[in-house]
Structures are given as C-alpha cells and as structure tokens.
Chain A
Amino acid sequence: MIDKKWIGYTGPEVRFDIERGRLKFFAQAIGESNPIYLDQGAAQAAGYRDLPVPPTFLLAADLDSNELFSTLAKMGVSLGKILHGEQGYTYHQPVCAGETVTVCSRISDIYDKKGGALEFIVRDSRVTNASGELAAEFRSVIVVRN
C-alpha cells in the first residue's frame, strides 16, 4: 500500500519549452491534419500567435521532466502496475509554440478500492505561462493494480 504521507506532496516546478517541431510531431502522431496544428501561417490566420498546443498536449510538459514517474518510483509504484484512470483539463489562456510554461503538480488524494487491490493516486497540475498567468489546470488519476 502507498504511504498516505504522500497526500499533499507538491513536486518541484518544472519548466517546459513549447517547441514548434514537437507540436508538429505530436499532431502527426495523433493523425491531426487541421493545418492550424501543423502550419504557422494557418495558425496565425486563425488568430493564434503560433501553433497552438492541442487539448491534451500539456501533459507532455509534465511527463518530459520525468517528475511524475520519479515521484511514482519514490512512492514505490512500479510502472508495470499502473493504468490511467481519469484525466481532465480546464483552460484559461491559450498556449502556443515559442512559449515556456511552468508546471507544478500536487498529490491531492490517495485512496483504495477492493480491499487494496486497486489504489488511486489523484494528482492536480497547474500550468503557468511566462507572464505568471494560470494557463491551464489538469487532473490525472492513476490506478495502481496490486
């Protein structure tokens, strides 16, 4: 069982550069063909400063830093035992290529079901832009199969 002392743990702030090439790679990997996600001119014609990050991309800012996986390792959770339970996003400001964002994540709850056979880790992340404005929030629920 995961030590409940981890509830409330806030990880270090991680910085992530939103790179145009990475956004194009992501768009291609998910089969996105809308030019606003692939072509700078099309994005600007649609009113964006540059290629916008697609709706789910910001989790990459978190995963690239390895902060999540290293926290799970410290909690004693093996990557082979986890499944994604839930994921949600709330948006406040658009985020585009060329920006640097900061992500800060907190473990807000840990609970179990089925007598501990399944444990749930709830993690809330806040994404701020270079101006310090809250750009997006996301919540991840990770399921551990014991």
Chain B
Amino acid sequence: MVEQNIVVNVGDAIPELKLPPVTRTTLALFAGASGDHNPIHIDIDFARKAGMPDVFAHGMLSMAWLGRLLTAWVPQSQLRTWSVRFLGITHLGDRVTCGGRVLEIFEENGERRARLEIQTSNQEGEVKIAGEAVVCLP
C-alpha cells in the first residue's frame, strides 16, 4: 500500500502479484462467483465442440487479479477509471504475474492522479492483458 508520506514517481513499479497455476477448480469457482456461466470456461465437451482444445480462463479472472494488484497498491476508493485489452488466452496451468508501473503524474478534477500501465503475463513472459488505470494519489 502506498503510504501517505511516500513519494510516487514516474517509472515506479507496482509490486508484482504472482498467482498460482490456473486450474479447472479456479475456473469453476470463478464462473459461479462472477456470474459468467459461459460453458466454454468450465465444460470441456462444449469447448471442443466450439473448436478449442480445452477450456480456458475467463478474461475477467485475470482482470480481477489486476484489480487485486491495484487495490494492494492504493485503497480501492482511490481507483478512478481503468480499462484493459485482452490480447491472448490464459490457459490451464498458466502461472500469471500481474504488474505495472507509473506512466504519468498529473492534476485532474482538483486531484493529484497517476496514470499506470498494467499487464498480466504468463510463465513464458507472454503478455495476455494490457491496460491503463488512473488512481488518485494521497
């Protein structure tokens, strides 16, 4: 968490969040918890009929992990806006790392804000999700 008296600088890295390998159980629980019941993520028969070799992770699971990255760095009440692009599929067994860094510090709506770049990558270093977030600084 960024303390009130710590200076945030452009280029600063956000402490990484390393996740355990994606399992079918992770996907089943996330389907129920998130309300995304698309069988492509939980039913191998459906996935194969759709031309995929197996089920694969919800993009929103990785985005939720990026949410954890952000709210571990600043309180959620300081998160103003963020968006991501899903660039590649996260597969079963992938070990995802979430990370980011400060791109810009600026004033907006009377607040000091930071623009961050954020991304997830797998164990091969392949970027799967990339995006930006704007947070209010203390």
Contacts and interface: CB of A to CB of B under 8 A. Distances in A.
Interface of A: 22, 25-26, 28-32, 34, 46-47, 52, 54-57, 59-64, 69, 78-91, 94, 139
Given A34-B72, A54-B67, A87-B84, 19 more contacts: A25-B33, A29-B30, A46-B75, A54-B64, A55-B64, A55-B67, A55-B71, A56-B60, A59-B34, A63-B35, A79-B39, A86-B84, A86-B85, A87-B59, A87-B86, A88-B82, A89-B81, A90-B81, A91-B79
B34 A29 contact: yes
B77 A22 contact: no
A83 B129 CA distance: 13
Contact of A91 (B46, B81, B84, B86): B81
A29 B29 contact: yes
Nearest to A25: B33
Nearest to B72: A34
Contacts of A34: 68, 71-72
A62 B60 CA distance: 13
Interface size class of B (residues with CB under 8 A): 35 or more
A63 to B, nearest CB: 4
B76 interface: yes
B35 A59 contact: yes
Interface in B39-98: 39-40, 46-47, 49-51, 58-61, 63-65, 67-68, 70-72, 75-77, 79-86, 89
Given A54-B76, A80-B40, A91-B80, A25 B32 contact: yes
B38 interface: yes
Contacts of B123: none
B84 A22 contact: no
Most buried by A among B20, B30, B80, B84: B84
B2 interface: no
Contacts of A86: 83-86
23 contacts: A22-B33, A25-B32, A26-B64, A29-B30, A30-B33, A30-B67, A54-B71, A55-B70, A57-B34, A63-B36, A79-B38, A80-B49, A80-B51, A82-B38, A83-B59, A83-B89, A85-B86, A87-B59, A87-B86, A88-B131, A91-B81, A94-B77, A139-B83
B19 to A, nearest CB: 7
B33 to A, nearest CB: 4
A47 B70 CA distance: 18
A59 B77 contact: no
A50 to B, nearest CB: 14
